A and B are shown apart, each in its own frame.
Chain A
């Protein structure tokens, strides 16, 4: 069962539109409890139904508020109309989110899992320390994209700034445009697919020839991001430190 809720951003007080404790602990918990009570005690069917109970949230008129969706989990769908500020979707996981606007710095910081699509531009440090999950950005991104990333998958349609993939440990990054200075600085492991040019490439990364599994991988990432491209025109970079 999916409960749908529409929230108008201008009606909410404070910078937090939705947080883990306020939504999950109160609303979601009540929903699960009501399912359990109405169907009788702890029968297996009611339990499974309660576990399937998820929320769909639509936030309208967002105007660059910070910390939107911080720590949200167990959402079936979240949609934001407008821009979001810094540290939006921090530690987000186990759900899908679409944002029809731009995002500030540290978007999807510590991403846990799930799928996020941003139709606008993003600021610095996109997907920093991302542990897992998938992020697609249709616009350009600022500096230090995927800094310290540890397993997430990131597709960027536009260009990225300086220090892209700084200290990246694991995961995949697809960059459809150009990259800035010191591309791949301090990268430990992971894979970067770059379509355009980089101002300067760090000595920590080297270009590798794409093999069939790599082509398959970038093709799947593109399909997941909803971008029509086979990925043939991309170059692949890996860390010289990775085994």
Chain B
């Protein structure tokens, strides 16, 4: 799960195998990104925070081998992604979609439009869950602006072209299904 393969970027403080790992700096640099990734999967801020903490616990446990990690960012994202997926298997996401959609709508829309917007978000979240797994994963990771196609490909263990194709298919499928829902309504 926490594979260390892959990547081109290397952090300056990771160059020396024997140098002390500045955990505070890593937490500062990556905690928000990891939180967003976990939140996109789990749709719960509390659980996303737990996942981020678990990720850094892994870092602490593997601090002796951190020097072998070639791209800290991808490595951390992959751990967070897998931990979040593990957690998601233990719960039913639709339980949290209600409150998540509500909070998401209220943060972006005026109060009078919140109910309608929350309803649309719930539908969109339900349709995202119904997407094929590979498409769903690419769509959720692509939502995180900081992650490029190459990084998504590295996290999911796919080629960049496959990621682009999956993302395109996911958007088309999701749009079609939501349009169908809107037409029925």
Same complex origin of A and B? no
Chain A residues with a Cβ under 8 A of chain B: none
**Residue positions of B touching A, CB distance < 8 A:** none
